[in-house]
Structure 1
Amino acid sequence: MEQTCCYKILGIKKTASSDEIKKAYRRLALKWHPDKNPDKRKKQKNASNS
């Protein structure tokens, strides 16, 4: 199984400060949260059913 680089997922450098890491995490959490983006949940469900 391939390892995933957390920094790549967050879109930050490995030298990022803890504040930058927190901001990147929160940005992605809002982007993918089903309550904030109900359309994404539908798309994800449709993809799972395919």
Structure 2
Amino acid sequence: MNKRDHYEVLGVGKGASEKEIKRTYRRLARKHHPDVNPNSKSAEAKFKEITE
């Protein structure tokens, strides 16, 4: 399994501030959370990728 760059996974630039990274992580985690998308395997996979 290839590990992607954390910045790439979140879709932020390498120069992103800590605040921007946290905000983007939280937004994506809520969007793809299994409790919000109980029947979506793609959302579950994206959530796992985000939280690695």
Can you give the 5+ residue segments of structure 1 that lack an aligned partner in the other structure? 45-50
SS at match of 1:39: coil
After TM superposition, give the deviation of residue 39 of structure 1 in Å: 3.1
Q: Is it true that 1:34 corresponds to 2:23 in the alignment?
A: no
TM-score (norm 1): 0.68
Between the two structures, name the one with larger relative contact order (CA 8 Å, sep ≥ 6). Answer: 2
Partner of 1:23: 23
Larger relative helix fraction: 1
Q: Could you tell me how far 1:19 is from its partner in structure 2? A: 0.4
The structure whose Rg is larger is 1
Q: Normalising to structure 2: TM-score of the pair?
A: 0.66
**Structure 1 Cα separation of the partners of residues 14 and 33 of structure 2:** 25
Give aligned-pair identity as a percent.
Answer: 51
- 1:2 and 2:5 are equivalent in the alignment: no
CA RMSD of aligned residues (A): 1.4
Structure 2 gap ranges (5+): 42-52
